[in-house]
Structure 1
């Protein structure tokens, strides 16, 4: 029996993560990192370890769904959102809906919430909803708690830190309630084929699809297209791209920052 294939089936059953949606090399690299840490000699040995040690399941889930981020990661992207996209939507809409897909521990949706809070100070007549989703319930709990190390705030200026965070005795910083209240965190599997909502104005999915197969990337692009309202914006990661089969669904808005608009 192919022990790697058998292990993948167990991962799908126990964790609900469909391994075939990821590149095989990526899955193997993440498994090998856990095997080294658990002293498992091969896939068969690690398979036995996984079945015998329930606590390993969440550790493996975290390894497979890498959650490395920070506030205002790629600051230029957020500047375009602040200076151009959010004001444009505020001129055309009395309600703005945003989806942060694959939000990990919450730094990205909270970064957007800070921009939204600044917008609402100028435009009190509009409402904004930010949906933030991830398949990993452990990181979602961290996101809801909103407590972060100082290193994750290195792109946040002192004025914003004083206004939107509280410094804790242990050296960490907690997002204040007026920012937390703007974000709705929810468990969601991007592989489900269903969007978290429809008629959205912005979808951000950054540094997530780099781990997916080409087919899954295209499927996600189609999912986001269907979820966006006419003229809605799709924000990708700096190293990501639209596949040839789906590139017609969007037109470039800011190619350097990987921001696109839904094609008519």
Structure 2
């Protein structure tokens, strides 16, 4: 068996990460990076190293699922959500459900929950739930703990920081319970073909599909379309796009911020 294929099989079995869900070049780049750091000369040697060093599995998992993020990343996107999308949904619905897909360590769903809480103060008859999912159980544990360093909060103004976070003596900040209670974390594989829920009002999936093949991107677009309610919103990453085969499923709402709406 080819050494790279054999290595991928072990990664899928041990790390529970389906390598075929990612572009092969991406998988190879991440593995080669770990090979350089572990001084292993080829895939076979790295495979042996991985099997003999349990700590390497966690390091490789982090390398494969890396998602650099922070609170209110791309602030302009969150301003559109705050000023337009959530108020629109609140005018039409008493219960709003949002799916944050590929949530990594939780900064994005908590950012949405913060502006959701601010809207709920003004609309006391409206409830908002944020479903936050990721394939990586390890990062979900960090997300559920809700503890972050100052760098992750650099886009946060001081008023929000004091109101929604507990400051710890070690310099970290913890999301307060009134924000945590709005977010429901769950492990989920986007390539399973099954949405986390149906009739959702908005889905955010940003900077996740850049690692997927074109077919997987199209499959995911169909999945999101089926999961959204009529006139539901889909928020993409700034560098992401819909392929020609699926672009008819959504209409542009804010092209600059890559926010779409489900086509009818």
Query: Which residue of 2 is the match for residue 218 of structure 1?
Result: 218
Query: Which residue of 2 is the match for residue 146 of structure 1?
Result: 146
Consecutive unaligned residues in structure 2, runs of 5 or more:
none
Pairing of 1:1-264 with structure 2 (within 5 A): 1-264=1-264
Superposed displacement of residue 54, structure 1 = 2.3
Instruction: For 1:39 and 1:177, locate their aligned partners in 2 and report how far apart those are by CA, in whole Å.
Output: 44
Superposed displacement of residue 166, structure 1 = 1.3
Superposed displacement of residue 12, structure 1 = 1.6
SS at match of 1:257: coil
Instruction: For 2:18 and 2:214, locate their aligned partners in 1 and report how far apart those are by CA, in whole Å.
Output: 15
Superposed displacement of residue 25, structure 1 = 1.3
Q: How many pairs does the alignment contain?
A: 264
Structure 1 residues 115-161: Cα deviation after superposition (integer angstroms, max 9, x where no partner): 00000000110111110000111111111111101011111111100
Instruction: For 1:194 and 1:216, locate their aligned partners in 2 and report how far apart those are by CA, in whole Å.
Output: 14
Structure 1 residues 3-27: Cα deviation after superposition (integer angstroms, max 9, x where no partner): 1111112212222222122111111
Instruction: For 1:201 and 1:56, locate their aligned partners in 2 and report how far apart those are by CA, in whole Å.
Output: 40
Instruction: For 1:125 and 1:236, locate their aligned partners in 2 and report how far apart those are by CA, in whole Å.
Output: 29
Structure 1 residues 169-226: Cα deviation after superposition (integer angstroms, max 9, x where no partner): 0111111111111100111111111111110000000000000101111111111111
SS at match of 2:195: coil
Relative to structure 2, which stretch is displaced further, 5-14 or 65-74? 5-14
Structure 1 residues 232-257: Cα deviation after superposition (integer angstroms, max 9, x where no partner): 00000000000111111000000000
Instruction: For 2:58 and 2:236, locate their aligned partners in 1 and report how far apart those are by CA, in whole Å.
Output: 27
> What is the alpha-carbon root mean square deviation over aligned residues?
0.9
Runs (4+) of structure 1 moved beyond 4 Å?
none
Consecutive unaligned residues in structure 1, runs of 5 or more:
none
Relative to structure 2, which stretch is displaced further, 10-19 or 239-248? 10-19
Instruction: For 2:195 and 2:37, locate their aligned partners in 1 and report how far apart those are by CA, in whole Å.
Output: 36
